[in-house]
């Protein structure tokens, strides 16, 4: 088991510097254009694929880093470049995590390569969980999956929303209800293969931030997928549902559902994204404060500015420490007994919102214009306290974990 350390090894430093160079040289110069266009930056994704960043191999190497720091380190550097473009590059990873968390070895080997494609023909994937009437309230999910035993097929019907890459993905991972009586415990995840009839893109959302990342509804109308597209297989599902029914009857322990398994694994990574955006805004503000003069001296000479920057850097470092701790715990198999994964996501997300707002304030009128990147960073940061579990939901998870009470 790897010991917890705050020092990256030489290989990790090399990867970090490589990613930082790509973020600085490829992502940042394109950030403003794709934010304005509000379109998927396919040329940038293809460049990432050519150098090996957008690939199964790269994410596997980071995912299986024994220290747990590979993924958070990569997320921080890419999102330091630009949140919208970075999310377009890493968004497929959420669907991949969904397969890794719930799928068999055969399913992992079959579907994850199809999510990425190759450098000459890049593909993306989508994880579809949220619904118009069931965001944080996963127990209210309405998308149904019904098993057709005669044909060994599952029939999916419903509408998903807020799906990154929804409708444009090569592979969709869809969470659906298989047993409505079990609430969130009666969910399962399904692969919807490319070009499956009945799946279509609904509304594409025009967003406040992360505008280079495609977000849309996914409509499922009598979508039929083969039995082998049920992640984990039917035997495993039947066993899990039987345990859930037994525990529900006896008032026993809770059973995790498929969507929550994915989110639990990805929360520290989202925290790392937030750290990257916060760090980028802090660096712009620090440089501006050192070079901008008012009343004959740099504005950083004023305590009102200097103290803000001190607080910004302190919060960023604290957020990174929480993210690294949670990532290390997850990789080394240590349970989140105090909801450390949610802690990391909560604190890092709130830090990104606060730090980017302070950066806008330090730049004054310039910070409010699109001539400077902190305006975009501030818009992008708003998403971190919303997606993959709002800050309110993170606090609920933490409070329930600490107290053992069903806090509502």
Residue 126, burial from CB neighbour count under 10 angstroms (0-12, 13-18, 19+): buried
Q: How far, CA to CA in Å, does 324 sit from each of 66, 73, 217, 319, 331?
A: 13, 9, 33, 9, 11
CA-angle at 73, arms to 268 and 126, nearest 5°? 60
157, 255, 233, 155: CA torsion to nearest 10: -10
Encoding tokens for residue 233?
């297989």
- Location of structure tokens 């960043």: 53
Q: How far, CA to CA in Å, does 299 sit from each of 287, 291, 332, 358?
A: 11, 8, 46, 14
- Cβ contacts of residue 197 below 8 Å, gap of 6+? 223, 224
Residue 264 annotated as catalytic: no
Instruction: Confirm if 190 and 229 have CB atoms less than 8 A apart.
Output: yes
Instruction: Confirm if 98 and 231 have CB atoms less than 8 A apart.
Output: yes
Q: Active-site residue among 131, 264, 375, 388? A: 388
* Signed CA dihedral, 331, 186, 240, 113: sign only: negative
Q: Can you tell me the distance from the alpha carbon of 358 to that of 337, in angstroms, rounded to the nearest whole number?
A: 33
Q: Which of 202, 195, 191, 253 is nearest to 225 (CA)?
A: 191
Encoding tokens for residue 361?
């304030």
* CB hemisphere CA count around 161 (13 angstroms): 11
Q: Give the chain's radius of gyration (CA, Å).
A: 22
Residue positions annotated with a catalytic role:
388
């Amino acid at each position: 088991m790897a010991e917890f350390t705050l020092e990256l090894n030489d290989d990790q430093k090399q990867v970090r510097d490589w990613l930082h160079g790509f973020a600085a040289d490829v992502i940042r110069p394109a950030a403003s254009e794709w934010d304005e266009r509000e379109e998927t930056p396919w040329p940038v994704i293809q460049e990432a694929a050519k150098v090996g960043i957008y690939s199964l191999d790269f994410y596997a190497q980071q995912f299986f880093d024994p220290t747990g720091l590979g993924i958070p380190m990569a997320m921080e550097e890419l999102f330091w470049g630009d949140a919208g473009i970075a999310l377009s590059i890493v968004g497929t990873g959420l669907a991949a995590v969904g397969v890794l968390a719930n799928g068999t070895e055969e399913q992992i080997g079959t579907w994850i390569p199809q999510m990425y494609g190759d450098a000459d023909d890049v593909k993306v994937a989508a994880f579809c969980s949220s619904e118009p009437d069931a965001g944080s309230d996963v127990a209210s999910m309405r998308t149904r999956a019904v098993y057709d035993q005669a044909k060994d097929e599952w029939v999916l019907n419903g509408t998903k929303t807020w799906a990154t890459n929804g409708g444009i993905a090569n592979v969709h991972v869809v969470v659906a209800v298989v047993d409505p009586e079990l609430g969130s415990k009666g969910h399962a995840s399904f692969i919807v293969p490319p070009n499956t009839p009945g799946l279509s893109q609904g509304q594409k959302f025009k967003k406040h931030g992360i505008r280079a990342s495609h977000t849309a509804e996914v409509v499922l109308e009598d979508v039929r997928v083969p039995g082998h597209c049920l992640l984990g297989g039917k035997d495993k599902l039947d066993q899990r549902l039987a345990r859930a029914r037994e525990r529900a009857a006896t008032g026993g322990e809770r059973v995790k559902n498929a969507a929550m398994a994915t989110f639990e694994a990805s929360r520290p990574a989202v925290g790392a994204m937030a750290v990257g955006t916060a760090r980028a805004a802090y660096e712009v503000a620090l440089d501006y404060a050192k070079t901008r003069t008012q009343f004959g001296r740099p504005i950083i000479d004023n305590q009102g500015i200097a103290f803000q920057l001190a607080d910004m850097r302190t919060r960023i470092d604290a957020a990174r420490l929480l993210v690294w701790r949670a990532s290390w715990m997850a990789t080394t198999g240590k349970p989140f007994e105090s909801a450390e994964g949610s802690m990391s996501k909560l604190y890092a997300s709130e830090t990104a919102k606060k730090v980017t707002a302070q950066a806008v304030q330090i730049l004054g009128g310039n910070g409010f214009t699109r001539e400077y990147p902190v305006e975009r960073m501030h818009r992008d940061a708003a998403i971190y306290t919303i997606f993959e579990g709002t800050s309110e939901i993170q606090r609920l998870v933490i409070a329930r974990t600490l107290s053992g009470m069903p806090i509502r």
